[in-house]
Amino acid sequence: MGIGKNIQRVDARAKVTGQAKYTQDLMTQPMMVAKVVHSTIANGVVTGFDLDEALKVPGVIKIVTCFDVPEIDFCTPGHPWSVEAAHQDVQDRRLLNQRVRYYGDDVAAVIAEDEIAAVKAARLVKVHYEEYPALVDVADAMAEGAVAMHDNVPDNILKHTSFALGDESFDEAVKEKGLILVDQTYDTQRVQHCHIELPVSFAYQDGNGKITVTTSTQIPHIVRRVIGQALGIPWGQVRVIKPYIGGGFGNKQDVLYEPLNAFLSLQVGGRPVKLELTREETFADTRVRHAIRFHMQGAVRPDGTLVARRVEAFSNQGGYASHGHAIVANASNMIKQLYRDEKALESESYTVYTSTVAGGAMRGYGIPQGDFAAECLMDDLATAIHMDPLAFRLKNCMEEGYKDPHNGITFYSYGLKKCIEAGKEAVHWDEKRAAYACQTGSRRRGIGMAIFCYKTGVYPISLETATCRMVLNQDGSIQLMMGATEIGQGADTVFTQMAAEVLGVTEDKVYIVSTQDTDVTPFDTGAYASRQSYVSGKAVKKTAEMMKEKILEYAAWKLKMDQQTLDIRNNMIVTAEGEELLTMEALATEALYSLERSVHITAEATSHCKENTFASGACFAEVEVDMPLGKVNVLKIINVHDSGILMNPKLAEAQVHGGMSMGLGYGLSEELMYDAKGKPLNNNLLDYKLPTAMDTPELNVEFIELQDPTGPFGNKALGEPPAIPVAPAIRNAVLQATGIGFNQLPMEPQRLVAAFKEKGLI
């Protein structure tokens, strides 16, 4: 009834009419304003403050410094809490930090009666430092004698992991005669999420001592826990409310300023305090996608057989652990999961503290970086043996039924090769590759591709759990409550469709509550890892099945019939043959108000998900390169996805379009840059080159729908995969057009022109 239909988004009317309430819209009472004082050095120690001038500003109520906060180290990533200390996230920051670890670190905060007073006073706070050399990149931080960013990590290597597969070592495998070897370094850059709604929250304390924080976040239940940990108070003493959210893309899968906001409210007697970041602060002081350097080696036979690979990856973590080593480990795992190495695959991954803003979660969680390196290497290997890169991939990509030897995640449904074939046909691959094989002149065209795979959710690496609650309303409709968060991706609409499908009611009879409130909303770890339609969807299905059973049990009592002969269809209690017996409204009224048997029909169920599967797909890009201008014009681009059965095809298409847009920026223009002293150079939307509608070509998408046996409705991941393969597909198209493989992102004009000049093309 509900699955596979293009129903209108359940939040569409509220959003287009302006009735949807975001965090700012809920600030109806008078509030104080807090502003954070950020460090003006990238590496060092705060030795003292001069607050005299700042305290003279009319309207200033209090200034809190790093010397005034609890000496409690806490972690911020949106991961489920582990009851095992060995699996807990790194606790390495405080509410305000005396030890400065990046330019913009939080060292003090001003509380004032209004925004003007808070901003003015924050500018007048004088901070005294002992300054150390900036460690902007991984090489600086790993160099002998580099200052330790954290005392317990003297070499600045937060974590190092490795794995090896195959019967031989890489060095042994490449001794085979006749192999072609490729040895390259591929660099991916820092980028920011650039969500429309800035990080914003407000906090207050009620009469019972409970601190309430209303915030724009992807992870309300995790925010609640981290606030408790950071302040050293019981978690139940904290309430977090998440209203509608204007985008997050992973930045709000970190606990950003909510603990500090809660603390500041307590410093003024629990009165309401608002804390909102500027766009510049969001760039410089929240989270970014990790810059990762990959040293890749590959060995291939002239017939196209991939024999061995070796990967060395260095992830620039920034000043604080945040999601830490999980990002580069995820990237390295994907490199393992995408292709078959006949003899050997070796991987070494390093996550390194530097004196830059912390890297955190961003759409794809390390896979865009890893896929860029893996797919550049594949084209470079194919070029080295003069083999069509599409045929090379078909020969070496993972086969159906692949099971990861380390975590057991399996390709239960496999559409990767069908995606490649569909994309090949859509872009006329063979004809275009032939047409663009031998070109001259300053404008040249090329066509390229990249493939990807992406797991669904985080099991077995971490806990996957979700709960759903349903209530039968008095009119026979269903109230649906989820801890899973709608962040713009359409989750509430899909949950509504899932509930309607199982219950046998129409979608307009399902009312989902879009606001999460940790005091009343069932538990869910949040919106990340493309997990919600898969993990939280299992909770919806399980709860709906329980709810339907209870409704039919009551209907059987009411109608004096065998429950096994009854069903629900189109909001009616019917027989197995479809005879209409009773409306849901009549049943609900009877259940609530019957003098003989009053029953309040509700259902709540937890799904502890202990399975996972892979989504996969391919991107094809056709480009024209204007070499004197260093400009890449994307003429045609298409993503082809295997994400199982689609819950709502139009929403699925919109998800892919959004991800492709992010991939275009990642590939061609976006980079958060720093100077030698660790100061951000372009932390604003003028100088940071985010692509606009004028820079975006027509985006095309196709789906290969295969039933996945592990998904609640045959579905699997779709939210993050669209952003993964775009950048390497464009890079590989530029490689065919110009003969130059650009190994550093973004492929922006200066970088391209310099390479074309070096090769004598212009």
Identify the pLDDT of residue 237: 98
Which of 560, 580, 608 is where one domain is finished?
608
Look at residues 105, 39, 506 and name the one whose alpha carbon lies nearest to residue 320. 105
* Degrees to nearest 5, angle at CA 118 with 114 and 123: 155
**What whole-number distance in Å separates Cα of residue 543 and Cα of residue 605?**
5
The answer to whether 184 and 481 have CB atoms below 8 angstroms apart is no
Segment 322-349 mean pLDDT:
98
Residue 57, in any domain of the structure? yes
Both 652 and 742 in one domain: the answer is yes
Residue 174, in any domain of the structure? no
Among 81-90, 181-190, 386-395, 613-622, the minimum mean pLDDT is found in 81-90
pLDDT in tens, 204-229: 999 999 999 999 999 999 999 999 99
Residue 669, in any domain of the structure? yes
Residue 223, in any domain of the structure? yes
Both 296 and 234 in one domain: the answer is no
Q: Tell me, what CATH number does 532's domain have? A: 3.30.365.10
pLDDT in tens, 529-559: 999 999 999 999 999 999 999 999 999 999 9
* pLDDT of 13 higher than 80: yes
CA dihedral of 380, 382, 383, 384, whole degrees rounded to 10: 90
Structure tokens at 28: 């109806």
Identify the pLDDT of residue 565: 97
Tell me the angle at which helices 584-593 and 537-559 cross, rounded to the nearest 10 degrees.
80
Which of 577, 608, 639 is where one domain is finished?
608
Both 258 and 356 in one domain: the answer is no
For residue 275, what pLDDT band results from cuts at 50, 70 and 90?
Answer: very high
Model-wide pTM > 0.85? yes
Contacts of residue 123, Cβ cutoff 8 Å, sequence gap at least 6: none
Tell me the angle at which helices 367-384 and 726-738 cross, rounded to the nearest 10 degrees.
30
Both 507 and 580 in one domain: the answer is yes
Segment 152-165 mean pLDDT:
98
How are beta strands 614-626 and 443-455 bridged, if at all? Answer: antiparallel
- Cα–Cα distances in Å, from 250 out to 297, 300, 443? 31, 37, 38
Q: 3-class DSSP state for residue 202?
A: strand
Identify the pLDDT of residue 83: 87
Strand order in the sheet with 344-353: 157-165, 344-353, 306-318, 291-300, 180-187
pLDDT in tens, 681-731: 999 999 999 999 999 999 999 999 999 999 999 999 999 999 999 999 999
Residue 175, in any domain of the structure? no
Which of 543, 573, 608 is where one domain is finished?
608
For residue 159, what pLDDT band results from cuts at 50, 70 and 90?
Answer: very high
Both 48 and 90 in one domain: the answer is yes
Q: 3-class DSSP state for residue 194?
A: coil
Cross-strand pairs, 318: 353
Element (H, E) at 725: none
pLDDT cut 90: percent of the chain above it: 99
Both 634 and 572 in one domain: the answer is no
Both 390 and 416 in one domain: the answer is yes
Residue 1, in any domain of the structure? no
For residue 389, what pLDDT band results from cuts at 50, 70 and 90?
Answer: very high
Identify the pLDDT of residue 1: 63
pLDDT in tens, 577-631: 999 999 999 999 999 999 999 999 999 999 999 999 999 999 999 999 999 999 9
Segment 461-466 mean pLDDT:
95
Both 367 and 243 in one domain: the answer is no
Identify the pLDDT of residue 84: 87
Q: What is the mean pLDDT of the chain?
A: 97
For residue 427, give its domain range: 291-459+611-758
Both 440 and 471 in one domain: the answer is no
Q: Tell me, what CATH number does 72's domain have? A: 3.90.1170.50
Both 388 and 511 in one domain: the answer is no
Both 353 and 242 in one domain: the answer is no
Q: In 50-131, where does DSSP find H-type helix?
A: 52-55, 115-124
Segment 268-275 mean pLDDT:
98
**What whole-number distance in Å separates Cα of residue 279 and Cα of residue 286?**
10
Overall number of domains in the chain = 3
* pLDDT of 312 higher than 90: yes
pLDDT in tens, 128-149: 999 999 999 999 999 999 999 9
Identify the pLDDT of residue 396: 98
pLDDT in tens, 729-743: 999 999 999 999 999
Residue 556, in any domain of the structure? yes
The answer to whether 225 and 235 have CB atoms below 8 angstroms apart is yes
Contacts of residue 418, Cβ cutoff 8 Å, sequence gap at least 6: 642, 704
Segment 672-685 mean pLDDT:
98
Q: 3-class DSSP state for residue 727?
A: helix
Residue 333, in any domain of the structure? yes
Both 620 and 679 in one domain: the answer is yes
For residue 87, what pLDDT band results from cuts at 50, 70 and 90?
Answer: confident
Segment 629-650 mean pLDDT:
98
SS3 per-residue string spanning 342-371: CCEEEEEEEEEECCCCCECCCCCCCHHHHH
Contacts of residue 640, Cβ cutoff 8 Å, sequence gap at least 6: 419, 420, 422, 423, 426, 617, 618, 619, 620, 701, 702, 703, 704
pLDDT in tens, 485-529: 999 999 999 999 999 999 999 999 999 999 999 999 999 999 999
